[in-house]
Structure 1
Amino acid sequence: MTRQQHFGWFLARGFGPHGWGHPYLDWNYRWTSPGLYQQSVRDLEQAGLDLLIIEDAPSLGSASTIDLRVRQAFGGPKHDPLLLAPYLFAATQHLGIVPTVNPAAYLPYTAARQFATLQHLSGHRLGLNVVTDTGSARHFGSAPVLAHDAAYDRAEEWLGGIRDLWRSWDDGALIADPTPTADRPQGRYADGTKLRALRHRGEYFEFDGPLNALPFTEGEPVIVSPGGSGRGLGFAGANSDVQLALAPLDAASIRNYRARIHAAALERGRNPADVTVLFAIQPVLVGSAEEADRLVAASANPDDATVLTIAERQSSDLETDLTSLDFDAPLDLGVFGDHVSRGSIARLVGSHDVETTPLRVLLASMARLGRLSDGSGFVGTASELADLIEDLGENADNDGVLFWGDLHPVTVHRMLDELVPILRRRGILRTEYNPGGLRANLRDF
């Protein structure tokens, strides 16, 4: 029996110069204005997607990579996705909006109050993509940069503190009854004896409660996390409602990844079913199998200019200038600092022997495309992509996928115009939403 799955969109380049470097820049959308994004999220909602996750990095990176990041607007500039969220909520009724937030950038009390406000304003459709980008730490104070696992420890304390603040209004604290009584002619709004004077004194944060914001009627904001390391998966198992997963899209890899998430959830006393695992995918959809074959063949031998472009983009993602290295020598992993994502390094290395494989080969491998039809890549027709998604749902119990790309209307329509009808005809994609906000829609099947 065909399984219905969850679908989302991962805005991979963040709230930045959409269209730059592409022919559709000449559509003349202004990336600094909300109209481009509002048009696209309406289309995502019409398509039946559950949520939009907006990547972010507050920093332009180290001095050695700033020019690489801004030269082609690959890693910056980026505006704050949290401030874009209200415009996207105003344009939609059901779609969940999930800006990326960094615990280093928000004190817990301020964060809890701002996020609570957006949760109410949106009809309980807010999500938070919690990242531990330690490279941005210098922008937020004089504390030393934390190592990879310690950054997760801080994030866990931060999120736990925020949840304590959200829950500092006990059941029955909010009354909101305007009915006059003999002793209260104006009714009663709240019972102050049921607000807890929270006092948090932790390793990384100190703050007091209770929170000056209303409790939630349809649940707290949905927590998303992207980490694929052992500590990152542990954080997801303990805290996350959605895991943004990166793994090969075959049944064995997906089952293995899901098993690790579920084990982490069980270890922290949670029901594994409470974590929705969504695997990111960046397909290249074309009109025919013949066209797909031509694209794959053309990518087989990338030229030097293509390899250099890949190096520049990877330098941005890895906050390490790969262009200054010897492309014909093996990559020394010691060039990467502790703040660099282990998952990003793993994507660069792939299945190669890093000790013997020249950097040029690693970069060229990232430029090569493969076919959906034979499992070697993600170039193919909408029907072939639907086949893959359906197979993963039936044979790997996959929860769903995240389409990876920018949020330009051209990109959205290229991805979804033919795919959505096929998925709906097969019963894989929802045709309507349920009341109750994002959390309810993630739990409705």
Structure 2
Amino acid sequence: MSRPQHFGWFLARGFGPQGWGYPSLDWDYDWTRPEIYQEAARTLEQAGFDLVIIEDAPSLGSADTIDLRVRHAFGGPKHDPLLLAPYLFQATRHLGVVPTVNPAAYLPYTAARQFSTLQHLSGHRLGLNVVTDTGSARHFSDSAQLGHDAAYDRAEEWLTGIRSLWRSWEEGTLVRDPDTGVFADGSKLQPVRHRGAHFAFDGPLNAIPFTDGEPAIVSPGGSGRGLGFAGAHSDVQLALAPLDEASVRAYRAKIQDAAIAAGRSPADIKILFAIQPVITSSAEEADRIVAASAHPDDAALVQIARKQSSDLETDLTSLDLDRPLDITIFGDHVSRGSIQRLIGDRGEDVPLRAHLTALARTGRITDRSGFVGTAEELADLIEELGDWGNDGVLLWGDFHPVTLHRTLDELVPVLRRRGILRREYDEGGLQANLRAF
């Protein structure tokens, strides 16, 4: 039997219009109400998933691309995922819920108190997907926008400060002895005083300590600075890499080396590789889908350009498809990883059409050129990842029930029969489930 792995779902649309642009919209779910998200969360828990990560972008982007981002609901609107989390906790007992948070948007003391409250209310199932999006900075202050590495410096100071507040109640502070009437020993509270480059605040925190670990920290980011942040601070790394053995092992080695450099054990970080599969009923159907994707028409390329314009906050739809892409059009705030995903290994001297065509092209799971295939074929890939020492997989999609069932209905039984997907949860919240194997 294969080694079990951790499974998560990346809610790629965030707390936004689930099903928009697809026929499934006519199921008439209201994306602004909690029911569709609660139904999806219960499905993931029934399937044995460890966590759901809720994408977010608090900004509609720059003035030049706002229309592109909202016209087709690629970049907005999005409601606040932190406020959705309690509804998902209420609907489940074991599933970890990981809203995306931006350090620029939350003062450390307020963040520490709010996150602590949710950790207790959820039975210690909260996680935080810490992102360093700098394009949203203007919504929170009139300070100058930080560069890529400086934004990570701020996130590091923010998270370190929050943890100092969480730990301001040292062991033995909380007494709760009804015989003596003593609830807590105030002499053991740590007087946190933080004066840093980006934040200034005092403690101790007005919230009791955790019984089953702090909220799990999740991080994306493939840059050297991003990997260093993950090595020092993260419990889960959202990984994007080609899923061949050499690439997977090289990526894992970078994260593990970063953990060791930060004085941590490599086992402290679970690395989940992101996959957006297309599950088909037969190999023949998969072959037809892949063949059709090799020759996208201009309308399909424009649709991809719209999505990329939202992600990159740069209008690609106004560019000539047959001229080389000048990457200097992307501002410093644009993720280097997002730019790299657009241009791949094709370089900068090829037409934009070639980049978009490459993104339109799907591949077969069987030859490891993509993620189109049957449930058995995807299970083969996940099993192979496990042979390479993989921690788990993060499936990618919206939260419409049609999307979840199309992906999971055949896959879950296959994974369970092979011993890859958990059937039972550990007690002790998200951290306990992450440590279980």
Q: Same fold (TM over 0.5)?
A: yes
Q: Structure 2 CA distance, aligned partners of 1:288 and 1:351? A: 31
Q: Structure 2 CA distance, aligned partners of 1:352 and 1:264? A: 29
The Cα offsets for residues 66-92 of structure 1, whole Å up to 9 and x where unpaired, read as 010000111100000000000000000
2:391 paired residue number: 399
TM-score of the aligned structures, taking structure 2 as reference length = 0.99
The reply on whether 1:410 has 2:409 as its aligned counterpart is no
Q: Structure 1 CA distance, aligned partners of 2:369 and 2:184? A: 60
| One of 327, 334, 340 as aligned partner of 2:328 | 334
The reply on whether 1:318 has 2:316 as its aligned counterpart is no
Q: Structure 2 CA distance, aligned partners of 1:231 and 1:210? A: 30
Q: How far is the alpha carbon of 1:376 from its aligned partner?
A: 1.2
Q: Structure 1 CA distance, aligned partners of 2:369 and 2:265? A: 34
The reply on whether 1:261 has 2:258 as its aligned counterpart is no
The amino acid across from 2:223 in the alignment is S
Q: Secondary structure at the match of 2:109?
A: helix
The Cα offsets for residues 201-246 of structure 1, whole Å up to 9 and x where unpaired, read as 0000000000000100001000000011000000000000000011
The Cα offsets for residues 89-114 of structure 1, whole Å up to 9 and x where unpaired, read as 00000000000000000000000000
1:276 paired residue number: 270
Count of matched residue positions in the alignment of Structure 1 and Structure 2: 437
2:372 paired residue number: 379
The amino acid across from 2:403 in the alignment is T
2:411 paired residue number: 419
| One of 284, 291, 302 as aligned partner of 1:297 | 291
The amino acid across from 1:410 in the alignment is V
Q: Secondary structure at the match of 1:273?
A: helix
Q: Structure 2: where are the runs of 5+ without partners?
A: none
The amino acid across from 1:52 in the alignment is V
2:354 paired residue number: 361
Q: How far is the alpha carbon of 1:375 from its aligned partner?
A: 1.0
User: For residues 107-122 of structure 1, what are the structure 2 equivalents within 5 Å?
Assistant: 107-122=107-122
Q: How far is the alpha carbon of 1:324 from its aligned partner?
A: 1.5
Q: Structure 2 CA distance, aligned partners of 1:42 and 1:123? A: 16
Q: Secondary structure at the match of 2:64?
A: coil
Q: Secondary structure at the match of 2:179?
A: coil
The reply on whether 1:351 has 2:345 as its aligned counterpart is yes
The amino acid across from 1:67 in the alignment is D
The amino acid across from 1:306 in the alignment is A
The amino acid across from 1:221 in the alignment is P
User: For residues 137-216 of structure 1, what are the structure 2 equivalents within 5 Å?
Assistant: 137-180=137-180, 187-216=181-210
1:184 paired residue number: none
User: For residues 218-257 of structure 1, what are the structure 2 equivalents within 5 Å?
Assistant: 218-257=212-251
C-alpha root-mean-square deviation of aligned residues, in Å?
0.6
Q: Structure 2 CA distance, aligned partners of 1:422 and 1:323? A: 42
Q: How far is the alpha carbon of 1:353 from its aligned partner?
A: 2.1
The Cα offsets for residues 110-150 of structure 1, whole Å up to 9 and x where unpaired, read as 00000000000000000000000000000000110000000
The amino acid across from 2:364 in the alignment is R
1:370 paired residue number: 363
Q: Secondary structure at the match of 1:135?
A: coil
2:59 paired residue number: 59
The reply on whether 1:87 has 2:84 as its aligned counterpart is no
1:436 paired residue number: 428
Q: Structure 1 CA distance, aligned partners of 2:273 and 2:143? A: 34
Q: How far is the alpha carbon of 1:383 from its aligned partner?
A: 0.4
2:31 paired residue number: 31
Q: Secondary structure at the match of 1:345?
A: helix
Q: Structure 2 CA distance, aligned partners of 1:59 and 1:305? A: 27
Q: Structure 1 CA distance, aligned partners of 2:364 and 2:219? A: 29
The amino acid across from 2:278 in the alignment is V
The Cα offsets for residues 12-39 of structure 1, whole Å up to 9 and x where unpaired, read as 1110001111101011100000000000
The amino acid across from 1:232 in the alignment is G
Q: Structure 2 CA distance, aligned partners of 1:353 and 1:202? A: 40
Q: Secondary structure at the match of 1:36?
A: helix
The reply on whether 1:13 has 2:5 as its aligned counterpart is no
Q: Secondary structure at the match of 2:60?
A: coil
Q: Structure 1 CA distance, aligned partners of 2:170 and 2:19? A: 48
Q: Runs (4+) of structure 1 moved beyond 4 Å? A: none
